[in-house]
Chains A and B, each alone.
Chain A
Amino acid sequence: MKTIIELKNLSKSFGGLKVLDNVSMKINEGQSVLITGPNGCGKTTLLRCISLLENFDSGEIIICKHRVTPDTPKEEREKIIKNHLIGFVFQEPHPWYHLKVIDNLTKPLMVIKRMPKNQALKKAGDLLDKVGLGGKKEEYPYFLSGGQKRKLIIARTLIVNPKILLLDEISANLDRKSKEDIFRVINKVSKKKTLIIVTHERDELKGIAHKTVRLPELPAPERIMRTAIRGKGGY
């Protein structure tokens, strides 16, 4: 099996606090990997580094043969992002509230892929049917429940057909039925994709995981809090 993502000695600090310390791993194409660990150990930061939203201090990431280091120029990072190799479902479900459910999916197709509207509507409609939101196409995301918003975000991520899907605690704050629903959707729509799932629900995802990576606990959690608060500042 071919390696799709490789992390080599990845390190990342916020201020004086090391959040990721020499993290290395290899993930093969089609594999599902669970990332677990206590709160504040850097799981989300790891996903943000892999998705290239966050730069890192040292080490390297190889995504589908594209090598990324801390010094990789912005243009090259943009090129990797534009290739739709990675899809990222954030921890908090934040659909684009100003757009209808269907337009949340057609927008990326029409803007990025320059797809004609009719074609985009057809593709988006099919995917919404698949995730169980077929009846909500014309509604605004304000009126969706927490579970439905998550399904919408998953669909929006999948609409550009990424090879690798990063899922950050997608079942957090959901009841049992909604969690099962979300896991069923992931199973259904993400076949043949490489999944990296950050979760605390290890047992429930055992069925789809090929391996589990546990990030170690970091010392001085109060420093993490301070850094998080200091780093909060919008755009």
Chain B
Amino acid sequence: MAYSFNFPLVFSYWPLFLKGLLMTIILSVISFFVGFCIALVLVSLRKSESKFARRFVAVYSVTCKAIPALVMIIWAYYALPLLIGVSFSPLIASLIALSINISPFIMESIISGINAIHKDQYESARVLGFTKLQAYRHIVLPQVLKNMTPDLLAWFITLIKHTSLVSIIGFNELLHVSNTIISNVFLPFEVYTTLAIMYILLIVCIEILLRKVVKIKYKTLL
């Protein structure tokens, strides 16, 4: 018996899809921002003189890279509240898990961006009379940002895809919303196909947009 497709019924749930999409974007952006801030702290610790700080970063980095994102999400939602006695909403638990999970990878991107800049770039500015701050602001940072942008873009896209994992703790992102729709209409093929197409469109749009912004801002050959 041939399967009869019923996409119009699925499309009639567009407000729910839209809500899921919005939640996915919000979670991705906030998690990436928090992860980036954690990564900046990690970079400064790794570049510091303190041996203890550098060792802490090494241990943190290995631990976070080794734990799968899904395990971290489950741990943040179910185990962490037992440890500290405070329970989190699915949004907060997802945020904690995803930002911690992505931070060591962002840290590596920033460090490789810095290391790719030759020391002469900074020193030539200093010897010309730039202050430390001016040398970083006008000479080093623009080049670091330019170097690490492709990497950061790749991590942001990875993070967007990782957000689908938080459906397991009941956060209303795209996959969770899709499962809810399926339980109403019993059309898994149509719903999951729509979901896959939405992810493709989302990521293609973000990639085009960010590449355009980067090209305008830093004039890269990206």
Interface residues of A (CB under 8 A from B): 51-53, 78, 81-82, 84, 86-88, 90, 92, 94, 96-98, 107-108, 111-112, 153, 156-157, 160, 234-235
Contacts and interface: CB of A to CB of B under 8 A. Distances in A.
Interface SS, B side: helix
Instruction: Determine the interface band of chain B, counting residues with CB < 8 A from chain A.
Output: 20 to 34
Interface in B71-85: none
Interface string B209-222: 00000000011000
Contact of B128 (A52, A97, A98, A156): A156
Given A53-B123, A81-B127, A234-B119, 18 more contacts: A87-B127, A87-B128, A88-B127, A94-B118, A94-B120, A96-B121, A96-B139, A97-B143, A98-B142, A108-B130, A111-B134, A111-B138, A112-B128, A153-B124, A234-B114, A234-B115, A235-B47, A235-B114
Nearest to A82: B129
Nearest to B220: A98
Contact of B129 (A81, A94, A96, A153): A81
B122 interface: yes
Given A234-B114, A235-B47, A94 B124 contact: yes
Contacts of B126: 53, 81
Contacts of B114: 234-235
Contacts of A81: 126-127, 129
Nearest to B146: A98
B149 to A, nearest CB: 12
B63 interface: no
Interface in B175-222: 218-219
Contacts of A153: 124
A133 B2 CA distance: 73
A180 to B, nearest CB: 25
Given A97-B143, A98-B143, A98-B218, A235 B128 contact: no
Interface string B93-133: 00000000000000000000011011111111111111100
Shortest Cβ-Cβ A-B pairs, 4 listed: A94-B120, A112-B129, A88-B127, A98-B142
A78 B142 CA distance: 24
A233 to B, nearest CB: 9
Nearest to A78: B131
Contacts of A112: 128-130, 134
Interface string B130-154: 1100100011101100100000000
Contacts of A94: 118, 120-121, 124
Contacts of B143: 96-98
B115 A160 contact: no
Contacts of A157: 128
A51 B124 CA distance: 11
Contacts of B134: 111-112
Contacts of A84: 128-129
A97 B147 CA distance: 11
A234 B116 CA distance: 9
Nearest to B134: A111
A157 B219 CA distance: 25
Contacts of B117: 234
Nearest to B118: A94
Contacts of B142: 98
A235 B119 contact: yes
A195 B121 CA distance: 22
